[in-house]
Amino acid sequence: MGEGGWHIQIDSDEYFLDFKGFTQYLKKLNPNPKPSQKPLNICSNWISLIKKTENGYLYVKPNAPHYETMPFATNRPDYHNARRNGHFNHLSPFFVLHETWARGEEELRRKINSWGHDNDFIDKESFFRLWQVLDDYNYRFIKNFHPLQGEVWPALDFCKGRTIEEFLDNFPPLRFPLSRFGLFLRNNRNMARLRQILKFEK
């Protein structure tokens, strides 16, 4: 795509809840990043869809303010692992639904056994069996079940919708947990360095 500007990557199983707002946010940050400027990733908050049931979708109920995040835009598209790299991650106040496990059984089995997810599971078959039995009732009892870092997926919730479009119509509004000042501190490079130093000194 060449150098300069914002490079946005959205996978086919991801749905921005406010894509127009996200692009306006990028333009406000920097209307046209130059190749000489410091590399920067812009992250959004991921809401993972886990299973499509007969009546709707099960999705990860985040333990705010600890949403799962993913880079969706960068001014330096030199990726190391999917969209991740060593550049500074700037958090934006936007949400993206990720249809990660909300697939048919055969498609999900292919996904979790693909090379891209080869190291995501300690026991793939056990996780697949757990997914198979999830329904509109028992999801309430599943806690901390991310395959590598349990607390990333602290709990599940349910929303009606026979299709993604219906699900989005019924999906409850999400509140971004940080104030404007809190977001400023989170995205300040110097504060990030200080947090890193304090973490190492503990």
Domain ranges of the chain: 7-201
| pTM for the model | 0.88
Q: In the numeric block, which tokens belong to residue 18? A: 């406010």
SS3 35: coil
- Looking at residue 65, its pLDDT comes to 67
Say which DSSP state 38 is in.
P
Q: Are 89 and 75 in contact (CB under 8 A)?
A: no
Q: In the numeric block, which tokens belong to residue 53? A: 């049931």
- Looking at residue 202, its pLDDT comes to 46
Q: In the numeric block, which tokens belong to residue 22? A: 């996200």
What stretches in the chain show pLDDT beneath 50?
Answer: 202
Q: Give the C-alpha separation, 191 to 183, whole Å.
A: 11
Its sign, for the CA torsion 138, 144, 150, 156, is positive
Q: Give the C-alpha separation, 136 to 57, whole Å.
A: 8
- Looking at residue 167, its pLDDT comes to 93
Q: How far is Cα of residue 62 from the mean position of the Cα atoms in its chain?
A: 11
Q: In the numeric block, which tokens belong to residue 42? A: 């812009």
**Three-class DSSP labels, 132-199:** HHCCCCHHHHCECCCCCCHHHCCEEEEEECCCHHHHHHHCCCCCCCCCHHHHHHHCCHHHHHHHHHHH
